[in-house]
Chain A
Amino acid sequence: MSGRADLTLGFIPLTDCAPLVVAKTRGFFAEEGLEVVLSREASWATIRDKVGVGALDGAHMLAPMALAADSMLAPLALNQNGSAVTVGTKLAAMMREADPEALAGPLVTADALMEVIARRRAQGAPPLTFAVVFPHSMHNYFLRYWLGQAGIDPDRDVRLVVTPPPRMVEHLRSGEIDGFCVGAPWNTVAVDEGLGEVLIKASQFWPGGPDKVFGVTAAWADRHGDELRAALRALIRASAWADEPGNHAELVALLSRPDHVGVEAEVLVRALKSEIVFHRHAAGLPRREHALWFLSQMARWGQVGADVDLAAVADRVYRPDLFREAALSLGPVLDPAQVFADAAPAASALFDGPSFDPANPRGYAASFPVGRAR
């Protein structure tokens, strides 16, 4: 490998960019002989476009964005969990008024929200506005699914908008939005500022559910097999490091730096302790059934046409083989059991609703009372 800057990798200021930041600052990239420059980007669209044209070699990506883009590969899942649905204190109070027990249970459904929406409609009030981070994101599908299970049609009964993660809290404060689904640490920031309440976390919605991936283009992976393997090894080691509770103080200090996530250390700690998993439970493995679940939701909400072969897309983009190859080459550094923990497909135990059959994503998509897949 040459001695000059080998790779430029993009990220968005979110807690789950940790594997990239750790691999760079803790020297895991350097130990693989890679000189890496990290580039903080302002939007997911820019990340996708820059990776697409080679201005970035790879990046922190929304898993569904990689599936929706042309010729992207996802050889590594960066994290499980981390996002949550948060509503403003005013809307939380309205939900409690509709049902005093609404926010008391271990699992909050959108039933009380449905009641609030019905009341507002009767009064002629404008629809509630919710924000997600991107049309192709876990956040969008999580929020839509959760709303849909209470009979709320996300395209008709509420207004859904896209807002960049660092601006969510500010928009909640100004009343521009009534709630949002975003990744860590922005839910915690809203709660700490007394602006919002978390209703449901990703770990409750789908224990062990997917979120971000490390993405590169297929063409880049073809030409740079060695660099890709080296980068994956460094990122896998960084993920294992970031999972260690003993390293969390240092991780928080790294992430809170202004050139990384740039928020107070305290708000980063909570999600790291209880929510986000980077490496345990084979979290790094890009699972085919996760890709198919995302694609089923794209079908459900009309983002993908009936002519698209969903299984072919999943197999083209998600590359567990590349992950395995890199992980196994780490040998004693890494417990190989971690790599094969998926011998049995992960039960896609979403918080309720029909069980997901990866063999029939379109049938699953059409099985919901609320949706566009008919």
Chain B
Amino acid sequence: MDLHRSHLAPDGLRAEGMRVLVIDPDPARAALVAEGLEGVQPLEVRRATTFDEREAAAFAPDVVVIAADSPDRDTLESLREAGQHNPRAVVMFVDRSEPGLAEQAVRAGVAAYVVDGLTPSRVRSILDVAISRFALTQQLRGDLAKAKADLESRKTVERAKGLLMKERGLDEDGAYRLLRKLAMDRGKPIGTVAADLLAFAGVLKGDAS
């Protein structure tokens, strides 16, 4: 994620430039995007009529620009769903005739949207916002997963401590010191050692039939 975090630099853009993939049968839109990003060097805008996962992975775009009515939305959404190794910011173009659609798409994982009339002057700021927001979401997601894992690990350690206190007649401090020693001896995190201990105790008691 370091690659993406670098987008949070003050100017919002990577020093080394920007890669943009525009999924649109309409060449005019790709031209508009390129025009709006003039001055961002080096800039690579690639246009494809349909989204191809392999090509996209090879190109590694910073941002994918797609129309709301594109059949490729399902594919892009599935990549996000699967928490793929290669996540990217998605900007969607929405027809003004469908109010609220854009907000809904954002809830479903699109990083930013443009309602109607794309003008070159707006392109850069829109893509900047999308990339920054995407990086932030990715980071929050990672932090949340880590927080959950930490909490889980703490609970496991507590339970293992309780087991040691009961079975070995140790006090809380002694139980924790023993766990920490086991962890250091084995070169494993304390949560893993605690989980192993609990699983092993379960087997002895006949839990894992």
Q: Interface on A for B, CB 8 Å cutoff?
A: 41-46, 48-50, 52-55, 70, 133-135, 161-164, 166-167, 176, 303
Can you report 26 residue pairs joining A to B where beta carbons are below 8 Å apart? A41-B69, A42-B70, A42-B71, A43-B70, A43-B73, A43-B74, A45-B73, A45-B77, A45-B105, A46-B68, A46-B73, A49-B104, A49-B105, A50-B104, A53-B101, A53-B103, A54-B100, A133-B74, A161-B75, A161-B78, A162-B77, A162-B79, A164-B72, A164-B75, A167-B71, A176-B54
Smallest Cβ-Cβ distance to B82: which chain A residue: A135
Residue among B52, B68, B75 with the highest chain A CB neighbour number at 10 A: B75
CA distance A46 to B73 in the complex (A): 8
- Does B173 have its Cβ within 8 Å of any Cβ on chain A? no
Count, A-B residue pairs, CB within 8 A: 68
| A128, chain B: closest CB distance, angstroms | 14
Of residues 34 through 52 on chain B, the ones whose CB sits less than 8 Å from some CB of chain A are 50, 52
Q: Which residues of B contact A162 (CB under 8 A)?
A: 74-75, 77-79
B104 touches which of A44, A53, A163 (Cβ 8 Å): A53
Report the bound CA distance from A49 to B110 in whole Å: 12
Q: Contacts of B74 on A, CB cut-off 8 Å?
A: 43-45, 133-134, 162, 164
Q: Determine whether the beta carbon of A53 is less than 8 Å from that of B98.
A: yes
Give every chain A residue within 8 A of B100 (Cβ-Cβ). Answer: 53-55
Residues of B within 8 A of A42 (CB): 69-71, 73
Q: At the interface, yes or no: B108 with Cβ under 8 Å from chain A?
A: yes
Q: Which residues of B contact A (CB under 8 A)?
A: 50, 52-54, 68-75, 77-79, 81-82, 98-101, 103-105, 107-108
Q: How far is the CA of A359 from the CA of B35 in the complex (A)?
A: 59
Q: 4 tightest CB-CB pairs across the interface, nearest first?
A: A53-B100, A162-B78, A164-B71, A49-B104
Chain B residues in 8 Å Cβ range of A54? 100
Knowing A43-B71, A164-B71, say if A53 contacts B81 (CB, 8 Å). no
**Pair B104/A161 contact, Cβ less than 8 Å:** no
CA A68 – CA B71 in complex, angstroms?
20
Question: Complex: how many Å from CA A303 to CA B107?
Answer: 17
Cross-interface CB contact of A167 among B50, B53, B78, cutoff 8 Å: B50
Decide: A134 near B103, CB < 8 A? Known: A43-B71, A46-B68. no
Q: Told that A42-B71, A49-B105, A162-B74 touch, could you supply 12 new A-B pairs with CB distance under 8 A?
A: A42-B70, A43-B69, A43-B72, A44-B74, A50-B104, A53-B99, A55-B99, A134-B78, A135-B78, A162-B79, A164-B72, A176-B54
Contacts of B81 in A (CB 8 A): 135, 303
Q: How far is the CB of B55 from chain A (nearest CB, A)?
A: 10
Asked whether A48 and B69 contact (CB < 8 A) given A53-B98, A54-B100, the answer is no
Q: Across the interface, name the chain A residue whose C-beta is closest to B79.
A: A162
Most buried by A among B50, B52, B73, B100: B73
Q: How far is the CA of A70 from the CA of B103 in the complex (A)?
A: 14
**Which A residues touch B71, using CB under 8 A?**
42-43, 164, 166-167
Nearest CB on B from A7, distance (A): 16
Nearest chain B CB to A141 CB, angstrom units: 14
A161 to B104, CA, bound (A): 24
- The chain A residue sitting closest to B80, CB to CB, is A135
How near does chain A come to B80, taking the closest CB pair, in angstroms? 9
Complex: chain B residue closest to A48, CB-CB: B108
- Chain A nearest CB from B81 CB (Å) reads 4
B70/A55 in contact, CB under 8 A = no
Report chain A residues within 8 Å CB of B108: 45, 48-49
| Most chain B CB inside 10 Å of its own CB: which residue of A49, A54, A135, A164 | A49
